Amino acid sequence: MKIGIVGGTGEIGEGMALRLSPRYDVIVGSREEAKAVMTCEACRETLEGQGISCSLVGASNQAAVDGADLVVLAIPFKHVAPTLKTLGGFEGKIVVSPVNPIERETYFYYAPPPEGSAAMMIRGMLPATATVCAAFNNVAANRWKKIDEELDYSVAVCCDDPAAKQTVMEMVNNVSRLRAYDAGPLAAASMVESVTPLLLNIARFNRMRDVGVRFI
C-alpha cells in the first residue's frame, strides 16, 4: 500500500514518515517539493543509521495524493480548508484525519467547525467516493520522531466504511506499539478529537510530557 502524507514536512508528518516507511511505500508531500525531498533524505539517514530500510519519496502535496492509495492529512486545522481547496484527485482513496480543531486561551479547548468535527468537515470537502477515517488524533505529537522510543498508545478509529476502517486499523497496528480500536462511525470523531485538548491541559497543568490514551 502506498501512503501519501500531505504536510509531510511538519513535526507529525515527518514523524509519520519515519514510522511508516519501513513497512509501506511513503510519499512525503509538501507545498515545496524541495523541502519534501530534504525531509526524506533526513528520514532515510536516520533510519538507515539504525539499520532500518525504508521506502520514501519527496513530492508536492498534489503528487503525494495522486500516487497514494491512502492519504494522511498531517496539517494543522487552520490549514486544512485552504490546503484541500488547492488539491484534487481524492476519488476512491482513503483519507486519514489526525486533525484536531483546538484553540488556546489560559487553557486548551475544543473548537469544532459547524460540521461538528474536523473529520466531518473534511468529508464534506472531498468527493463522495473518498472515504474519510479519523485516526491518530490523540498520539503525542513530539513522540512521532523519537524512533528509539515505543509509541505505547491506544488509537481510536472512526469511519463509516468497514473495509476502509479495517485498512486503517491494520496500519495503526503496524506502527510501534500502537493499538487500534473501533470507535464507531465518522460522526463520533468529535468525541475523539475533543480528548486531545484534555490531554494537553493535563500535561500542562501537571508538568507532564507525552500524555496519551491507553485503553485497558
CATH number of the CATH domain containing 154: 3.40.50.720
Residue 24 has pLDDT above 90, yes or no: yes
- Residue 213 within any structural domain of the chain: no
Residue 193 has pLDDT above 90, yes or no: yes
- The average pLDDT across 174-188 equals 98
- Residue 215 within any structural domain of the chain: no
d(CA 164, CA 162) in angstroms, rounded, equals: 6
- Residue 177 within any structural domain of the chain: yes
Question: Domain of 42?
Answer: 2-205
- The average pLDDT across 5-22 equals 96
What is the reported pLDDT for 93? 98
What is the reported pLDDT for 197? 98
Percentage of the chain lying above the pLDDT 90 cut: 99
12 to 98, 123, 160, 185, 206: CA distances (angstroms): 9, 21, 25, 24, 24
- The average pLDDT across 9-34 equals 96
What is the reported pLDDT for 142? 87
To the nearest 10 degrees (0 to 180), the angle between helices 33-48 and 11-20 is: 50
The one-character DSSP state at 161 is: -
What is the reported pLDDT for 28? 98
- Residue 211 within any structural domain of the chain: no
Tens digits of residue pLDDT in 132-171: 999 999 999 889 999 999 999 999 999 999 999 999 999 9
Strand pairing category for 131-134 and 154-159 = antiparallel
Give the mean pLDDT of the chain.
97
- The average pLDDT across 179-199 equals 98
- Residue 216 within any structural domain of the chain: no
What is the reported pLDDT for 111? 98
- Residue 98 within any structural domain of the chain: yes
Q: Report how many domains make up the chain.
A: 1
The one-character DSSP state at 187 is: G
- Residue 63 within any structural domain of the chain: yes
What is the reported pLDDT for 143? 92
What is the reported pLDDT for 196? 98
Contacts of 76 (CB under 8 A, 6+ apart): 10, 99
125 to 76, 130, 132, 164: CA distances (angstroms): 16, 10, 11, 18
- Residue 78 within any structural domain of the chain: yes
DSSP letter string, 100-148: --EEESSSEEE---TTSSHHHHHHHHS-TT-EEEE-STTS-GGGTT-TT
Farthest-apart Cα atoms in the chain, separation: 47
